Amino acid sequence: MSASRRAAAPPTAPPGRGRGACGRAGEMTDRRLWSYKEIAAHIGVRIDTVRSYRKHGLLPSPDLVENGRPYWYADTIRSWVVRRPGNRRARRDAED
């Protein structure tokens, strides 16, 4: 893999919005930023699959783009996972 293709560490969340930040009830609190790599690991697919999801408009808009790289807050992705098409786990859990 060339140096230009190596994944850089995700940037940190903006000041005052770190993981566990206090807020109103029901407000997202996990503000860690995830790249394609973390999203792929979370949902159990290949990184190229996540890129394809974005290309086809199946991922939410990135919460941050830094140096041309998109990043999403962990809570943004977790809420998308519950609603995403083909999420058999959410349907199975709803039936229980």
Q: Is pLDDT at 18 greater than 50 in this prediction?
A: no
Q: What is the pLDDT of residues 19-78, one digit of tens each?
A: 444 444 455 578 899 999 999 999 999 999 999 999 999 999 999 999 999 999 999 999
pLDDT value at position 5? 52
> 40 near 53, Cβ under 8 Å?
no
Instruction: List residues bridging with 64 in a β-sheet.
Output: 71
Gap between the Cα atoms of 59 and 35, Å rounded: 12
Residue bearing the bigger pLDDT, 90 or 9: 9
Helix 36-43 / helix 47-55 crossing angle, nearest 10 deg: 110
Residue bearing the bigger pLDDT, 47 or 8: 47
* Residue 17 pLDDT grade (very low, low, confident, very high; cuts 50, 70, 90): very low
Average pLDDT over residues 86-90: 64
Q: Is pLDDT at 93 greater than 70 in this prediction?
A: no
